Amino acid sequence: KRLDLAIRGGTVVTAADMVRADVGISEGRIVVVADAVEGAADEIDASGLWVMPGGIDSHVHIAQPSGPDIVMADDFTSATASAAAGGNTFVMPFALQERGTSLREAVEGYRALAEGACHVDTAFHLIVSDPSPAVLGQELPALVKDGYTSFKVFMTYDDLVLNDRQLLDVFAVAREERALVMVHCEGYDTIKFMAERLERAGKVAPYYHAVSRPEIVEREATHRAISHAELVDVPMMVVHVSGREAMEQIRWAQQRGLKVYAETCPQYVTLTADDLQGLNMEGAKYVCSPPPRDAESQAAIWEGITQGVFQVFSSDHCPFRYDSPAGKLNPKARTSFRWVPNGIPGVETRLPILFSEGVSKGRITPQKFVELSATNHAKMYGLYPRKGSIGVGFDADIALWDPSRRETIRQEILHHGADYTPWEGFDVVGWPVMTIVRGRIVMRDGAIVGERGFGEIVRRDHSAYASPAAAA
């Protein structure tokens, strides 16, 4: 049977291998990986390029309400265009339950926004902010059965925080339904205590956001969440780990045989709390939680990456405009760091930063890059073996990389809806030059060429990593 597309002359990189091979695609799937593939309707010359699984970013926020009069800078179209431009073929945003509302309704609302709007494939995690008896007893179990096999819970933020009892209740449902629970580990009360003390001392600039939530706050919450998960015997994913303190809690748990997984992000290997300093309100551009730390923390995160403490490297894309009353510079933000919306844009720059700082600088192998950027996301969140690798039978979700191309990250070359990038002027070696989703070219040389709406909402399976230890 004639192939739809052949990618010829490239170097195929997977989490396991790096080999010179051609890739043949038919009906959106990879049907042959071989020395030489002939007879395709279309051909791409990939000589000099690396043929890698398209990036899967399992932690992005799109069109989430973020407080009164605050709006996120991306809708599903701009976020997924930005993702595709950055070499991604799949993103996982969150369906956020607002307190007092049904989780099912939240899911339907987000689906309606994403339907027909996306350039790459997507699947939603849930955010549980109101674990009522109906949510715990009916909605969550039913949603897991419908393919929403992971959910995030928060240990901080006024509108999202769960107390310890509520965390335990949600963990118990996750265990019962074999869902993977993601935990935002920062302590609510400690942050509140610190923030109020800083405010009383007149320390209200964006920089004090970082001072108000030091590593000890993250470490304590990480340990507490791990303890709860151990008690309930449920696997868990600690998201956006920022430095050594939290990482060592996770390593300790892993060495005891607990199924504790961890995610880190570009900001924790490239930015520091000093970036939150800056003239006037410029520091607000870097306000995210947990905040970036210091150079030693960056080294600690690399140590955790190379030693296998971290399974996934995500962006935590959470974009707000800087120069906007609905974004970082909202009227209240000048009165205190507490009102600066938390989050930074990063879905488009995640892979170039990991490639450049990791592969090009010799810290990680190309195979490790693929594992951290695509394969493990698919495995963790129930998308494998449909997504996440290059091999016969996988969806043809592919990024072509020029491993030696030099680029400088600048706002003007990005496709997100934010009006800045935290990495303005950051030099990288290695850049995605083409993104292919299910056999269709969606990005070529920085231009979005796919049609809006080609991206599908994918139903996920259970994660193999979510099975309780006692059942393994």
The closest residue (CB) to Zn ion is 184
Footprint of ligand URP on 46-75 (CB under 6 A) = 61
- Separation between Cα atoms, residue 55 and residue 57, nearest integer Å: 6
> For residue 206, is the peptide bond before it cis, meaning its omega torsion is within 30 degrees of 0?
no
Q: Nearest Cα to 374, choosing from 176, 105, 91? A: 91
Contact 316, 368 (CB under 8 A): no
Contacting residue, 10, 235, 343, 352, with ligand URP by CB under 6 A: 343
Residue 298 binding partner per list ligand URP, Zn ion, none, with a CB distance cut-off of 5 to 8 Å that depends on partner kind: none
Judged by CB under 5 A, which stretch of 10-18, 205-213, 290-298, 308-316 contacts Zn ion?
308-316
Whether 121 and 386 have beta carbons less than 8 Å apart is answered as no
Q: Between the CA of residue 210 and those of 39, 204, 214, 291, what are the distances in Å?
A: 57, 11, 6, 5
Count of Cβ atoms closer than 10 Å to residue 142 Cβ: 13
- For position 321 contacting ligand URP by CB under 6 A, the verdict is no
Total chain residues near Zn ion (CB under 5 A): 2
Binds ligand URP (CB under 6 A): choice among 7, 72, 118, 318:
318
Q: Which is nearer to ligand URP, 343 or 432 (CB)?
A: 343
Contact mark string toward ligand URP, 224..243, x via CB under 6 A: ----------------x---
Alpha-carbon distances, residue 323 vs 72, 94, 208, 378 (angstroms): 13, 25, 20, 36
Minimum Å gap between C-beta 286 and ligand URP is 10
Size of the site for ligand URP (CB under 6 A): 9
Q: What is the CA radius of gyration of the chain?
A: 21
CB of 396 to Zn ion, least distance (A): 28
**283 contributes a contact to ligand URP by CB under 6 A:** no
Nearest approach, Cβ of 240 to Zn ion (angstroms)? 6
Rank residues 31 and 135 by Cβ distance to Zn ion and give the closer one.
Answer: 135
Minimum gap (Å) between residue 4 Cβ and Zn ion: 34
User: How many Å apart are CA 341 and CA 319, to the nearest integer?
Assistant: 9
Residue 204 or 265 having the CB closest to Zn ion: 265
Least Cα distance to 185 among 156, 211, 228 occurs for 156
Determine if 205 is a binding residue for ligand URP (CB under 6 A): no
**SS3 state of residue 208:** helix
- 3-class SS of residue 428: strand
Bridge partners, residue 121, by sequence: 90
Positions in 172-201 near ligand URP (CB under 6 A): 184
- Out of 62, 288, 372, 390, the residue judged to bind ligand URP by CB under 6 A: 288
Give the single-character DSSP code of 179: P
- Number of helices (H), then strands (E), belonging to the chain: the values are 14, 21
Binding partner selected for residue 342 from Zn ion, ligand URP, none, CB under the kind-specific 5 to 8 Å limit: ligand URP
Question: Is residue 316 involved in binding ligand URP (CB under 6 A)?
Answer: yes
Q: Where are the alpha helices (DSSP H) in 30-163?
A: 76-85, 103-114, 133-134, 140-145
Partner from Zn ion, ligand URP, none binding residue 95, C-beta < 5-8 Å depending on class: none
Give me the least distance between CB of 268 and Zn ion, in Å please: 13
Distance CA 370, CA 378 (A): 11
In whole angstroms, what is the distance from residue 92 CA to residue 56 CA?
8
* Cα 271–chain centre separation: 17
Name residues contacting Zn ion, limited to 19-78 (CB under 5 A). none
Choose the contact partner of 288 out of Zn ion, ligand URP, none; CB within 5 to 8 A by kind: ligand URP
Tell me if 184 contacts Zn ion by CB under 5 A: yes
Reduced to 3 states (helix: H, G, I; strand: E, B; else coil), residue 472 is coil
Query: Residue 7 or 333: which CB sits closer to ligand URP?
Result: 333
3-state secondary structure of 353: helix
Phi, psi of 238 (to 5 degrees): -85, 115
Using the minimum distance from each CB to ligand URP, give the nearer residue, 119 or 240.
240
CB of 240 to ligand URP, least distance (A): 6
Of residues 184 and 438, the one with the C-beta less far from ligand URP? 184
Among residues 316, 348, 357, 371, the one that binds Zn ion under rule CB under 5 A: 316
Question: Among 252, 226, 248, which residue's Cα sits nearest to residue 237?
Answer: 226
Q: Which residues pair with 218 in a beta bridge?
A: none
CB nearer to Zn ion: give 19 or 142. Answer: 142
Q: Quick one: which of 289, 311, 315, 463 contacts ligand URP (CB under 6 A)?
A: 289
Sites of contact with ligand URP (CB under 6 A): 61, 184, 240, 288-289, 316, 318, 342-343
Sites of contact with Zn ion (CB under 5 A): 184, 316
